[in-house]
């Protein structure tokens, strides 16, 4: 694919979509955030407003509440939102993909339209205290009874569970079998008896991440997604889309900050040390490379290539861009370090998580080595360097 | 070109490259060099963009540059086949350098784009060339004859001094000058990407085969992460270079020049990192004269200084483009 010419351009109908969206946006601007309104609640209102105009789930088939267009169309909307400083589309694309690929037809019809409309807010219950990077180490257990399951265990890093109604939950349905055959996915309503959600305060002060305690929670068989054992491939699909440069709304956010830094470079020419100017230039290069890379992935996706292990490359490129950008921004605006609740400083703190969430950078390197480069797996415990 | 046509041209080029690639630094000798250059000239790739509109896109040319970079070749594809003909094309429809002569491009002695003082120039990538074209910062294009060979760390690439006087053969307008700079940056980037890609692929293959402590070294996580990082660096280069080439085909020259500068800045850093990582995987063998590793290292190391160094690029890129 990379040895033949690629088309980095927008398909013809995209221009029209962008113009339509801009016209709609002019009549339906971003609402005001109410004082003390938690961010997720505010974003949820925004989500519903966007959905009312038909701007959510453009790449989801019409029978599931979408518009049956391509991923590229959804990306164009994210671009437009970023360009006018508005928050992006809620990040449901990767959950929707998981349901489209693994859920039964009646489940898709039940969940997808409500997910797109914002009637149901979903969170993702994958990680556990004892299984962060290593999903195979998962110990939450779903024991099968007659027509239902009983689930026991604990989840961690479940983003915004306190504002969610449903959780895409992974649990083991067979303690004995290897992970890729024994993990099963469920749609768990979070108001079930036995579910406890406890927000964790992150270092930036936000309470995005939650702990989820599951004490003999009853889950119906009809709430199982796919077959028993489908949880592993479902998780792999989800994270491939999650790591993909296209399906995240981050890029436009980086672009705005890069331009802000470049304007400072121009306005304070002669004041900033050369070293810092180079760093700003490097941030611009990182950002532009990421944009080019995302466009290339779009071209590949349109050429019929599904998101796969090479999305780990995308994730590492995004991490590189984000972390250097916020490090540099703090050097350009050192006052942020001496302010209470500075927004930029908060974003800097959040950028430190980029190399941890969605699979650590080390895990991404393992994936690239094994699944992209096809390097061999360890055949025996290593002992090099031992005397 | 139609997709099939491009594949044909590429395959033709690949068989040329397979035939004339050298196995070690000892094979860099004048007479086989000249023979390889004649064979390259016979492929007629210099005609690819001579028609109007050009038969080949910039992206297709960049892909050929990448192919050329993949093999240790002593031929001048960039200078005599891609860059000089494109400069003449931009200068005026149908214009050629003096009949019977082959031109390459002239660069400053440190291989960057020529600056105002053009008293000390070199003819870069000069195998098979008998004149050099220089674009001065104000867009004037001059032509001059070549002097003796000049020493260079890159054993594969010929460099000669340029004789005075130079005569002015034309002038580029501002968009033409931007197009030319962007085109040159993209082609050089493409060749360096090809070199780094090939060498990393070779080192991945080596990591699968080479055994230490009773196992393939590619099983060790320390080696895996080294190669994974090289892969990420390379993919960044591929995306940036291909996008910049596409911009030259589809966007205004100003936008293409920014994309090309971005690509070269990424390539300057990442291809060197990738080749160094590959050499670490090869270990001791890659430190020898016989091994091809240093041919690749020399190419990317020197290539990172050609036309624009990282320092040349990052400071201007730190400020927004001047809006018209």
Show the tokens assigned to B288. Answer: 């020898």
- Determine the pLDDT at residue B248: 98
Tell which residue, A353, A350, A375, A352, has the closest CA to residue A365: A375
The continuous run of DSSP H or E covering A97 comes out as: helix A93-102
pLDDT higher than 70, residue B98: no
Check if the beta carbon of residue A77 is closer than 8 Å to that of residue A58: yes
List, for residues A213-231, the tens digit of each pLDDT value. 999 999 999 999 999 999 9
List, for residues B262-276, the tens digit of each pLDDT value. 999 999 999 999 999
DSSP A4: S
Residue with tokens 């349905």: A173
Helix/strand/coil percent split, chain B, to 5 = 60, 10, 30
Check if the beta carbon of residue B282 is closer than 8 Å to that of residue B237: no
pLDDT higher than 80, residue B94: no
Q: Which of A369, A376, A377 to mutate to test the interface with B (most CBs of B within 10 A)?
A: A369
- Determine the pLDDT at residue B93: 45
- Which of A265, A274, A375 has its CB closest to that of B208? A375
Residue with tokens 């892909």: B63
Check if the beta carbon of residue A169 is closer than 8 Å to that of residue A155: yes
pLDDT higher than 60, residue B231: yes
Residue, of B125 and A204, whose pLDDT is higher: B125
- Determine the pLDDT at residue A248: 55
Give Cβ neighbours of residue A186 (< 8 Å, ≥ 6 apart): A142, A149, A151, A168, A169, A170, A171, A219, A223, A224, A225
Residue, of A105 and A385, whose pLDDT is higher: A105
| A299 contact B CB<8A | no
Residue with tokens 């930036």: A204
pLDDT higher than 80, residue A240: no
- Determine the pLDDT at residue A195: 97
pLDDT higher than 50, residue A127: yes
pLDDT higher than 50, residue A387: no
pLDDT confidence band for B324 (50 / 70 / 90): very low
Rg of chain A taking only CA atoms, in angstroms: 22
- Determine the pLDDT at residue A246: 64
- Quote the percentage of chain A above a pLDDT of 70: 96
How do B167-171 and B215-216 pair as beta strands? unpaired
pLDDT higher than 50, residue B42: yes
Residue with tokens 């050929």: B64
| B63 contact A CB<8A | yes
How many CB atoms lie under 10 A from the CB of residue B280?
15
Q: What is the DSSP string of B45-83?
A: GGGTTTSSS-SS-HHHHHHHHHHHHHS---S-SIIIIII
The pTM score is 0.92
> What number of residues does chain A have?
387
Distance (Å, whole) CA A134 – CA B87: 55
Query: Which residues from A are below 8 Å from B7, CB to CB?
Result: 4
pLDDT confidence band for A385 (50 / 70 / 90): low
pLDDT higher than 80, residue B56: yes
Mean pLDDT within B228-242: 98
Mean pLDDT within B240-269: 97
How do B103-108 and B131-135 pair as beta strands? parallel
A345-374 residues touching B, CB cutoff 8 A:
362, 364-366, 368-370, 372-374
Distance (Å, whole) CA B93 – CA B88: 8
- Determine the pLDDT at residue B100: 65
pLDDT higher than 50, residue A308: yes
Distance (Å, whole) CA A75 – CA B164: 55
Q: Lowest-confidence range among A54-68, A128-142, B23-37, B100-114?
A: A128-142
Residue A290 Rama label (left phi>0; alpha psi -120 to 50; beta)? alpha
HSE-CB at B202 with a 13 A cutoff on CA atoms is: 23
Tell which residue, A100, A154, A102, has the closest CA to residue A129: A154
Top mean-pLDDT range of A272-276, A302-306, B135-139:
B135-139
B252-311 residues touching A, CB cutoff 8 A:
258-259, 262-263, 265-266, 311
Q: What is the DSSP string of A166-233?
A: EEEEEEES-SSS-HHHHEEEEEEETTSTTEEEEE---TTS---EEEEEEEEEEEEGGGEESSTTTHHH
Check if the beta carbon of residue B195 is closer than 8 Å to that of residue B67: no
Signed CA dihedral, A114, A116, A118, A122: sign only = positive
pLDDT higher than 60, residue B46: yes
Catalytic residues of A: 242
pLDDT higher than 50, residue B281: yes
pLDDT higher than 70, residue A247: no
Signed CA dihedral, B73, B42, B126, B258: sign only = negative
List, for residues A130-183, the tens digit of each pLDDT value. 887 778 889 999 999 999 999 999 999 998 999 999 999 999 999 888 888 899
- Determine the pLDDT at residue B191: 98
Distance (Å, whole) CA B67 – CA B40: 13
| B244 contact A CB<8A | yes
Mean pLDDT within A298-314: 84
Show the tokens assigned to B88. Answer: 């003449």
Distance (Å, whole) CA A225 – CA A208: 26
Check if the beta carbon of residue A379 is closer than 8 Å to that of residue B215: yes
- Mean pLDDT computed over every residue of chain A: 90
CB contact under 8 A, B225 and A313: no
Whole-angstrom CA distances from A332 to A254, A272, B321 are 15, 8, 19
Q: Which of A264, A301, A373 to mutate to test the interface with B (most CBs of B within 10 A)?
A: A373
- Determine the pLDDT at residue A264: 97
| B150 contact A CB<8A | no
Residue of B nearest to A7 (CA): B246
Mean pLDDT within A183-202: 96
Check if the beta carbon of residue A120 is closer than 8 Å to that of residue A165: yes
Distance (Å, whole) CA B225 – CA B127: 39
Check if the beta carbon of residue A41 is closer than 8 Å to that of residue A118: no
Mean pLDDT within A351-364: 92
pLDDT confidence band for A339 (50 / 70 / 90): confident
Q: Which of B239, B267, B320 to mutate to test the interface with A (most CBs of A within 10 A)?
A: B239
B5-34 residues touching A, CB cutoff 8 A:
6-7, 10
Distance (Å, whole) CA B44 – CA A199: 68
Residue, of A199 and A82, whose pLDDT is higher: A199
């Amino acid at each position: 694919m990379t040895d033949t010419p690629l088309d980095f351009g927008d398909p013809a109908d995209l221009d029209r979509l962008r113009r339509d969206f801009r016209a709609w946006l002019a009549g339906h601007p971003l609402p005001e955030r109410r004082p003390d309104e938690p961010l997720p609640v505010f974003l949820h209102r925004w989500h519903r407003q966007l959905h009312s105009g038909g701007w959510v789930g453009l790449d989801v088939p019409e029978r599931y509440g979408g518009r049956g267009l391509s991923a590229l169309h959804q990306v164009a909307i994210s671009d437009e939102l970023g360009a006018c400083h508005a928050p992006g589309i809620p990040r449901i694309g990767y959950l929707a993909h998981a349901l489209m690929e693994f859920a039964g037809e009646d489940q898709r019809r039940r969940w997808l339209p409500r997910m797109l409309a914002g009637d149901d807010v979903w969170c993702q219950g994958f990680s556990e205290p004892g299984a962060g990077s290593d999903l195979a180490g998962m110990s939450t257990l779903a024991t099968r009874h007659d027509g239902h399951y009983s689930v026991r265990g604990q989840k961690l890093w479940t983003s915004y569970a306190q504002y969610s109604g449903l959780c895409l939950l992974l649990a083991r349905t067979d303690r004995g079998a290897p992970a890729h055959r024994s993990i099963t996915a469920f749609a768990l309503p979070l108001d079930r008896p036995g579910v406890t959600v406890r927000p964790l305060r992150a270092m930036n002060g936000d309470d995005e991440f939650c702990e989820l305690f599951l004490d003999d929670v009853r889950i119906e068989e009809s709430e199982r997604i796919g077959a028993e054992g489908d949880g592993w491939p479902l998780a792999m699909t989800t994270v491939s889309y999650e790591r993909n440069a296209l399906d995240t709304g981050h890029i436009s956010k980086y672009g705005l900050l890069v331009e802000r830094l470049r304007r400072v470079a121009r306005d304070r020419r002669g004041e900033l040390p050369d070293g810092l100017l180079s760093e700003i230039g490097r941030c611009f290069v990182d950002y532009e490379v990421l944009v080019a890379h995302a466009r290339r992935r779009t071209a590949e996706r349109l050429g019929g290539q599904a998101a796969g292990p090479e999305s780990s490359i995308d994730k590492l490129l995004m991490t590189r861009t984000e972390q250097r950008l916020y490090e540099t921004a703090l050097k350009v605006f050192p006052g942020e370090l001496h302010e209470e609740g500075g927004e930029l400083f908060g974003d800097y703190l959040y950028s430190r998580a980029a190399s941890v969430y969605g699979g650590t950078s080390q895990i991404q390197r393992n994936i690239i080595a094994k699944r992209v480069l096809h390097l061999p797996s360890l055949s025996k415990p290593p002992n090099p360097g031992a005397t | 070109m139609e997709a099939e046509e491009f594949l044909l041209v590429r395959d033709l080029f690949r068989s040329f490259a397979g035939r004339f690639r050298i196995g070690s630094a000892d094979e860099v000798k004048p007479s086989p060099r000249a023979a390889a250059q004649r064979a390259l000239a016979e492929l007629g790739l210099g005609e690819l963009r001579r028609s109007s509109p050009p038969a080949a896109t910039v992206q297709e040319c960049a892909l050929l540059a990448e192919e050329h970079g993949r093999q240790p070749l002593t031929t001048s594809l960039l200078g005599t086949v891609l860059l000089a003909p494109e400069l003449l094309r931009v200068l005026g429809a149908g214009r050629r350098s003096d009949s019977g002569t082959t031109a390459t491009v002239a660069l400053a002695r440190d291989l960057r784009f020529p600056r105002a003082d053009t008293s000390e120039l070199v003819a870069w990538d000069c195998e098979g060339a008998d004149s050099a074209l220089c674009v001065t910062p104000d867009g004037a294009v001059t032509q001059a004859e070549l002097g003796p060979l000049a020493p260079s760390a890159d054993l594969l690439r010929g460099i000669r001094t340029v004789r005075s006087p130079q005569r002015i053969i034309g002038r580029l307008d501002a968009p033409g000058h931007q197009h030319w700079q962007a085109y040159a940056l993209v082609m050089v980037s493409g060749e360096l990407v090809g070199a780094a890609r090939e060498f990393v692929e070779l080192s991945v293959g080596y990591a699968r085969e080479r055994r230490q402590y009773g196992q393939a070294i590619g099983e060790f996580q320390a080696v895996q992460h080294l190669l994974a990082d090289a892969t990420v660096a390379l993919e960044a280069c591929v995306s940036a270079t291909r996008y910049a080439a596409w911009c030259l085909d589809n966007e205004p020259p100003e936008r293409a020049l920014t994309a090309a500068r971005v690509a070269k800045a990424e390539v300057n850093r990442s291809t060197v990192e990738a080749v160094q990582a590959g050499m670490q995987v090869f270990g001791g063998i890659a430190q020898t004269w016989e091994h091809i590793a240093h041919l690749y290292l020399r190419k990317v190391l020197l290539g990172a200084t050609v036309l624009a160094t990282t320092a040349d690029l990052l400071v201007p890129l730190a400020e927004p483009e001047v809006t018209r």
